[in-house]
Structure 1
Amino acid sequence: MEISGIISAIVIGLIIGALARLVLPGRQRIGILWTMAVGIVAALIGTAIAAGLGVGDTDGVDWIEWLIQIALAAAGVAALDRVKAHR
């Protein structure tokens, strides 16, 4: 992965994190920094999964890749929220 790919994954990860919070119902007990971190990690992992599945090579917007990334981020936000709730 090139540096431009990493930078774009970080920017997209910020958006993915925000979308993950919108997808999840109810209030999440984690801060915005944790949400952004989960979004960035989900964007990087989602890109790798999409590339492994062969769905990341389109000329336009990769909707399947976005859905994978949002699902991963939502799962990450929910998991982190549960960890924070038990403390």
Structure 2
Amino acid sequence: MLGLGIIGWIVIGGLAGWIASKIMGKDAQMGIWQNIGAGIVGGLIGGFILWLVGVDVNSGGWFFSFLTCLAGACLFLWLLNKFGSNKTSV
């Protein structure tokens, strides 16, 4: 993912973040910038996890990077939902 450049980060991150927000049921609460941010953070999370298990993430190409971002963004949104929201009961 790091080898894609800034335009690649924005395009793949935006698409992956948007689809992840649809999958996780967060699309109505997120805007374009949050989708891009979730996709980029998801790419970093997914790439790091794959690197930990020994997968060569640099030679995967656009499609592999997209899947990595998508999986990482879903994980990121799930973690935010699980631990990041302040749920107050009335």
* TM-score relative to the length of structure 1: 0.61
C-alpha displacement of 1:80: 2.0
Instruction: Kindly report which structure 2 residues correspond to 1:1-87, keeping only aligned pairs within 5 A, or say none.
Output: 1=2, 5-24=5-24, 26-27=25-26, 30-32=29-31, 33-47=33-47, 53-57=55-59, 61-63=62-64, 65-82=65-82, 83-86=84-87
Contiguous gaps of at least 5 residues in structure 1: none
CA RMSD of aligned residues (A): 3.1
Q: Is the contact made by 2:20 and 2:74 (CA closer than 8 Å) also made in structure 1?
A: yes
Contiguous gaps of at least 5 residues in structure 2: none
Matched residue of 2:59: which SS?
A: coil
Cα 1:48–1:62 shift into 2, 3 Å: farther
What is the identity percentage for the equivalent residue pairs of Structure 1 and Structure 2?
29
Report how many aligned residue pairs link the two structures.
83
* TM-score relative to the length of structure 2: 0.60
Q: Deviations over 1:17-51 (max 9, x none)?
A: 00101222x45674323333111222244456557
